[in-house]
Amino acid sequence: MSVTAAAGFRAAGVAAGLKSSGGLDVALVVNDGPRSAAAGVFTANRAKANPVLWSQQALEGGSARAVILNSGGANCFTGPFGFQTTHQTAERVAERLSTPSAPIGAIDVQVCSTGLIGVGDESFRQAVLTGVDRAVDALAHEGADAAAGLRAAQAIMTTDSVPKQAVANGEGWVVGGMAKGAGMLAPGLATMLVVLTTDADVTADVLDRALRAATRVTFDRLDSDGCMSTNDTVLLLASGASGITPDEASLTDAVVAVCDDLAQQLQLDAEGASHDITIEVRHAATEDEAVDVARSVARSNLFKAAIFGNDPNWGRVLAAIGTTDASFDPYAVDVAFNGVRVCRAGEPDRPREEVDLTPRATHILIDLFAGDATASIRTNDLTHGYVHENSAYAS
């Protein structure tokens, strides 16, 4: 179940000719209310795509009635023409969804795009607008069921091998979501588009706090290849259709759960990866330092290539953490690979032969002996598959 799990939402996924395969490439998620509260987190990259520039601005009022998403073109670095395309897309959605009793403006429409940077010409524009028409038509027939949610999740896939959906149930209310992303997964958000929906009856301020709390410990700690995208967008919409207002902690827990589930799905589907690595740092002086240390390892190509080769190369772990400013003594650190402590207090401990790195799930434990804070980063290994996908696929 997905974006349609929460009451008050409809979705559609249609083919509009943006993908040369003819596959689904335009998705629409509509919030039928009664509430239209919304919050968003966008890429920290200064090079923001046109849809991000638009959506960030449009969301300032804390409200959104619909999200239109396309794969097959990022509409980034496409100039004023590209920005006009985003604007026209939002206008078309608004026109088509408006009723006399419930008019919708372009400002009520969030726009997300993914695909190649630099793609956004006239034919792209026409295909997206065609997609809007087809998606609105599809909504009318079948918009509120799980199959429609699945098609929306499929329509935003690029190099993803599977659609990604998640749900968490509260007491009488639900949080659901969908995501795309399989590479360029980095700090300050993965290359990904995520739409989360809830029928809880909450304000935009509550949504904003819950979403930021969730992305901080989930998507922001997924660092597949250290690269930050221009199009990252995570949206959370509330319809209020359940009529229930959960306490903020319960809502936050549910949003965290859905984001964590989606973040793990993104990790498992990372381009060309053969290991899904969790780097856990314990006993750091602060949580931020734990994150810094874990991320330094996640960013080490030498470490990542060693994992691909099933090599428990703890020297590369220590060489990576030595580049950080975190509080610890490099010669008082323990490192374990999949439960085998191969380095104790900066010296060799158990023989590397005891470590089994053949499973895909890989756990690196770094104990800094410098405090009480803990954090984990999810990453992947550096493989021939990664090099192949990212050299052969122009994105």
Task: Candidates 6, 15, 153, 321: give the one binding a second copy (CB under 8 A).
Answer: 321
Q: State which amino acid sits at residue 205.
A: D
Residue 390 contacts a second copy per CB under 8 A: yes
Which one, of 296, 330, 317, lies nearest residue 364 by Cα? 317
Residue 353 contacts a second copy per CB under 8 A: no
Q: Is 390 helix (H, G, I), strand (E, B) or coil?
A: helix
Task: Candidates 16, 28, 38, 74: give the one binding a second copy (CB under 8 A).
Answer: 74
Please state, in angstroms and rounded to a whole number, the distance separating the CA atoms of residues 319 and 34. Answer: 55
Task: Candidates 71, 197, 230, 252: give the one binding a second copy (CB under 8 A).
Answer: 230
Residue 337 contacts a second copy per CB under 8 A: no
Residue 130 contacts a second copy per CB under 8 A: no
Task: Candidates 7, 285, 318, 373: give the one binding a second copy (CB under 8 A).
Answer: 318
Residues contacting a second copy: total by CB under 8 A: 58
By beta-carbon proximity to a second copy, the closer residue of 151 and 221 is: 221
Q: CB of residue 241 vs a second copy: minimum separation in angstroms?
A: 38
Please state, in angstroms and rounded to a whole number, the distance separating the CA atoms of residues 223 and 228. Answer: 9
271 is in an annotated binding site: yes
Which one, of 183, 217, 195, 192, lies nearest residue 380 by Cα? 183
By beta-carbon proximity to a second copy, the closer residue of 173 and 314 is: 314
CB neighbour class for 348 (10 Å; exposed up to 12, middle 13-18, buried from 19): exposed
The answer to whether residue 191 is catalytic is: yes
What would the DSSP string read from start to end of 313-360? -HHHHHHHHTTS--S--GGG-EEEETTEEEEETTEE-S-GGG----SS
Which one, of 144, 236, 227, 217, lies nearest residue 183 by Cα? 227
**181 Rama class: left (phi>0) / alpha (psi -120 to 50) / beta:** left
By beta-carbon proximity to a second copy, the closer residue of 121 and 247 is: 121
The residue annotated as part of the active site, out of 85, 86, 89, 191, is 191
Residue 124 contacts a second copy per CB under 8 A: no
Please state, in angstroms and rounded to a whole number, the distance separating the CA atoms of residues 219 and 209. Answer: 15
User: Which window, 139-147, 174-182, 204-212, 314-322, contacts a second copy (CB under 8 A)?
Assistant: 314-322
Task: Candidates 319, 350, 354, 371: give the one binding a second copy (CB under 8 A).
Answer: 319
Q: State which amino acid sits at residue 13.
A: G
Residue 57 contacts a second copy per CB under 8 A: no
> What residues form DSSP beta bridges with 30?
10, 66
Report yes or no: 129 and 43 within 8 Å, Cβ to Cβ: no
By beta-carbon proximity to a second copy, the closer residue of 254 and 284 is: 284
Please state, in angstroms and rounded to a whole number, the distance separating the CA atoms of residues 181 and 156. Answer: 9
Please state, in angstroms and rounded to a whole number, the distance separating the CA atoms of residues 336 and 340. Answer: 5
Task: Candidates 320, 340, 364, 375: give the one binding a second copy (CB under 8 A).
Answer: 320
395 is in an annotated binding site: yes
- The vertex-294 CA angle with 290 and 299, nearest 5°, equals 145
By beta-carbon proximity to a second copy, the closer residue of 31 and 43 is: 43
Residue 116 contacts a second copy per CB under 8 A: yes
By beta-carbon proximity to a second copy, the closer residue of 58 and 382 is: 382
Q: CB of residue 368 vs a second copy: minimum separation in angstroms?
A: 12
Residue 227 contacts a second copy per CB under 8 A: yes
Task: Candidates 17, 311, 338, 371: give the one binding a second copy (CB under 8 A).
Answer: 311
By beta-carbon proximity to a second copy, the closer residue of 140 and 394 is: 394
Task: Candidates 9, 219, 308, 337: give the one binding a second copy (CB under 8 A).
Answer: 308
Which one, of 101, 95, 25, lies nearest residue 66 by Cα? 95
Task: Candidates 243, 323, 360, 361: give the one binding a second copy (CB under 8 A).
Answer: 323
CB neighbour class for 122 (10 Å; exposed up to 12, middle 13-18, buried from 19): exposed
Q: State which amino acid sits at residue 187.
A: P
Q: Which residues are annotated as a binding site for substrate?
A: 158, 180, 191, 271, 390, 395
Q: Could you list the active site residues?
A: 191
Residues engaged in binding a second copy (CB under 8 A): 44-48, 74, 76-79, 116-118, 183-184, 225-230, 299-302, 305-306, 308-309, 311, 313-316, 318-324, 330-331, 343, 346-348, 382-384, 386-388, 390-392, 394-395
